[in-house]
């Protein structure tokens, strides 16, 4: 996407975040059919169609500058949103390299990276950054490597060390999360981290996912979509800030649901990191209001049916119990009962 950055939109207070018509059409709808249940829905993270959110390894879209500003605000309020245990330094450099190389290769008009051995020169034009540093020498950057590059990318990042036949959450930058806390989870194993997820454990989803990830290969990243809903276009729905957003859920009515409630989709990417043998877990959050969604007739019918038929345990876990019915009621006039084509394309 040759993005024109919407530099002044906000994800708090007056919530001026909006999607352009182009951003709506490329939204990664996570529902290929009219009903939803968990699956180990991982696929190779190969290049998707031109203009789609999966065209490149890391998507930079029209919200890039505004999201980076929101991230800086969250980090200024709460320094624990970035954490890295001491043994994760080589994985931090792996992450910095992966993101800088991807950005410079895929968006050459916005980013450039010049290397002379370990002497690197990074330019980020949208954020007005020009940095020379020595790759591998943390004293030559103003921040730790993942802290440094995480502030210049959209989406949350978690780095998992691999040892003892398990994955351990031991570094991350998490400012746009759907009600989970890096500070609480750091040091946990993969299954401990996912402990609160209902139903999936009984389905052995995490046994299979862990086995799959332990064998994740260098150069062959994978991805999956996850989703929930959020009131207002609020990126930071963290447990730490629950007092700021928890009460929003009781403000939803069948009249205002289209504007207040947003579908929140996470494009989750997983990369084996070369020097550390760790795994980078990228969680890129896309927001779209129900009203914006409903501008695509197929999606309005699809989301109406998915929400109406959602398993009660998932309604509870995703925090939708207070307003799911209001959203279903708001969408009902858009669903004439006609069939929807399979898959997620707008038509």
Partner 1 sequence: MNDAQTLAVQVAAIEQVTPLIKHFTLKSVDGGPLPAFSGGSHIIVVMRGNLRTHRNPYSLLSAPHRLDAYEIGVRRMEESRGGSHFMHDQVKVGTRLEIAHPVNLFGLDKIARKHLLIAGGIGITPFLAQIEDLRGTSVPYELHYAVRSAEHAAFLPRLREREGERVHLYYDSEDQAIDFAGLLSEQPLGTHVYVCGPAGLIKRVVDTAHAYGWPGSHIHWEQFSAPPVGDAFDVFLSRTNITVHVPHDRSLLESIEGAGVEVPYLCRGGVCGFCQTAVLELDGELLHNDHFLSDAEKARAKSIMPCVSRARCKSLVLDL
164 binds partner 1 (CB under 8 A): yes
Percentage helix, strand, coil for the chain under 3-state DSSP, each rounded to 5: 35, 20, 45
The reply on whether position 189 binds partner 1 by CB under 8 A is no
Contact 252, 260 (CB under 8 A): yes
Cβ pair 245, 231 in contact under 8 A: yes
Please select the residue that binds partner 1; options are 109, 128, 139, 215, rule is CB under 8 A. Answer: 215
- Cβ-contact 41, 314 below 8 angstroms: no
Pairing mode, strands 111-116 and 82-84: unpaired
Nearest to 158 by CA among 278, 239, 290, 67: 278
> Nearest distance from residue 127's CB to partner 1, in Å?
27
Q: Counting contacts by CB under 8 A, is residue 2 touching partner 1?
A: no
105 binds partner 1 (CB under 8 A): no
- Out of 7, 16, 220, 345, point to the residue binding partner 1 (CB under 8 A): 220
* Residue 320 neighbours by CB under 8 Å, 6+ apart: 228, 229, 307, 310, 327
Specify the residue, 274 or 346, whose C-beta has the smaller distance to partner 1.
274
324-331 and 297-308 helices, crossing angle to 10°: 140
What values do phi and psi take at 27, rounded to 5?
A: -65, 135
Q: Does 217 bind partner 1 (CB under 8 A)?
A: yes
> Does residue 191 touch partner 1 according to CB under 8 A?
no
Q: Does 70 bind partner 1 (CB under 8 A)?
A: no
Nearer to partner 1, 160 or 231 (CB): 160
Stretch that binds partner 1, among 3-11, 12-20, 162-170, 302-310 (CB under 8 A): 162-170
Binders of partner 1 among residues 321 to 340 (CB under 8 A) are none
Considering the candidates 18, 69, 224, 322, report the single residue annotated as catalytic: 224
Identify which range of 9-17, 158-166, 199-207, 256-264 contacts partner 1 by CB under 8 A: 158-166
Nearest approach in angstroms of CB 181 to partner 1 is: 22
SS (H, E, C) 328-341: HHHHHHHCCCCCCC
C-alpha distances out from residue 10 to 70, 177, 223, 237, 264, Å: 7, 16, 28, 14, 16
> Cβ closer to partner 1: 160 or 306?
160
Q: Residue 224 catalytic? A: yes
**Which residues contact partner 1 by CB under 8 A?**
87-88, 94, 136, 161-164, 215, 217-220, 274-277
So which residues are the catalytic ones?
224
């Amino acid at each position: 996407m040759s993005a024109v950055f919407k530099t002044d939109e906000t994800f708090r207070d007056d919530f001026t975040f909006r999607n352009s018509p182009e951003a709506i059409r490329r939204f990664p709808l996570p529902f290929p059919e009219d009903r939803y249940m968990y699956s180990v829905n991982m696929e190779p993270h190969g290049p998707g169609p031109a203009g789609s959110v999966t065209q490149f390894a890391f998507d930079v879209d029209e919200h890039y500058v505004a999201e980076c500003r929101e991230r800086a605000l969250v980090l200024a309020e709460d320094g624990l949103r970035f954490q890295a245990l001491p043994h994760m330094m080589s994985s931090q450099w792996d992450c910095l390299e992966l993101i800088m190389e991807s950005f410079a290769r895929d968006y050459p008009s916005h980013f450039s990276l010049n290397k002379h051995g370990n002497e690197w020169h990074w330019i980020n034009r949208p954020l007005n950054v020009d940095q020379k540093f020595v790759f591998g020498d943390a004293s030559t950057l103003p921040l730790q490597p993942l802290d440094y590059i995480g502030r210049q990318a959209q989406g949350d990042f978690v780095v998992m060390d691999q040892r003892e036949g398990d994955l351990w959450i031991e570094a991350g930058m998490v400012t746009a999360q759907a009600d989970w806390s890096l500070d609480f989870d750091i040091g946990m194993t993969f299954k401990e981290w996912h402990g609160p997820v209902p139903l999936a454990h009984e389905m052995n989803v995490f046994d299979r996912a862990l086995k799959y990830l332990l064998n994740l290969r260098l150069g062959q990243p994978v991805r999956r979509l996850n989703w929930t809903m959020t009131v207002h276009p609020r990126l930071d729905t963290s447990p730490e800030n629950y007092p700021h957003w928890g009460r929003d859920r009781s403000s939803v009515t069948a009249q205002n649901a289209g504007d207040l409630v947003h579908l929140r989709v996470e494009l989750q990417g997983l990369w084996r990191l070369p020097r550390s043998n760790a795994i980078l877990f990228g969680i890129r959050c896309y927001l779209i209001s129900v009203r914006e969604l409903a501008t695509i007739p197929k999606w309005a019918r699809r989301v109406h049916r998915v929400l109406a038929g959602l398993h009660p345990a998932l309604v509870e876990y995703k925090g939708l119990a207070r307003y799911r019915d209001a959203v279903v009621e708001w969408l009902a006039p858009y669903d004439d009962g006609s069939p929807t084509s399979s898959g997620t394309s707008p038509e």
